[in-house]
């Protein structure tokens, strides 16, 4: 979600879903690892102790990693429906 016209605190929301807490943790860990390689730090991580919704604050980008049920319940896409949204192709991430 392109938040630049709607927030002074950050530029982008990235929303990710996973089917289990284990996958949410793995996604969170992988994002942190890849950001570290690029010398980008995560300022704050919320929800890691009970990973149903993990938030990674990377200053300009806020990553939300949801369990599928929580994503549907909070429905940030609807809450921010006036914000430009782009869906990324995740086929490359799926098991074959």
Q: What CATH number did the domain enclosing 46 receive?
A: 3.30.460.10
Report if residue 56 sits inside a domain.
yes
pLDDT in tens, 17-75: 898 999 999 999 998 888 888 888 777 888 888 788 899 988 888 899 999 888 888 78
| pLDDT for the residue numbered 78 | 80
- Among the listed residues 53, 56, 75, 55, the one whose alpha carbon sits nearest the alpha carbon of residue 66: 53
Q: What is the mean pLDDT of residues 64-88?
A: 82
pTM of the model: 0.77
d(CA 61, CA 96): 30
The domain of 41 spans: 12-84
Report if residue 7 sits inside a domain.
no
Residues 6+ apart with CB under 8 A from 6: 80, 82, 83
| pLDDT for the residue numbered 36 | 85
| pLDDT for the residue numbered 65 | 92
b or e along 64-91 (b: 16 or more beta carbons within 10 Å of the residue's beta carbon)? bbbbeebbeeeeeeeebeebeeeeeeee
Give the total number of structural domains in the chain. 1
Query: Which H or E element spans position 62?
Result: strand 61-67
């Amino acid at each position: 979600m392109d938040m630049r016209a709607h927030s002074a605190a950050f530029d982008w929301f990235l929303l990710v879903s996973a089917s289990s807490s284990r996958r949410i943790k793995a996604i969170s860990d992988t994002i942190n690892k890849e950001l570290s390689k690029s010398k980008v730090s995560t300022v704050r991580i919320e929800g890691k102790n009970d990973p149903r919704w993990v938030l990674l604050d990377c200053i300009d980008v806020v990553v939300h990693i949801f369990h599928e049920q929580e994503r549907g319940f909070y429905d940030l896409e609807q809450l921010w429906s006036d914000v430009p949204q782009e869906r990324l192709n995740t086929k490359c991430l799926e098991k074959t």
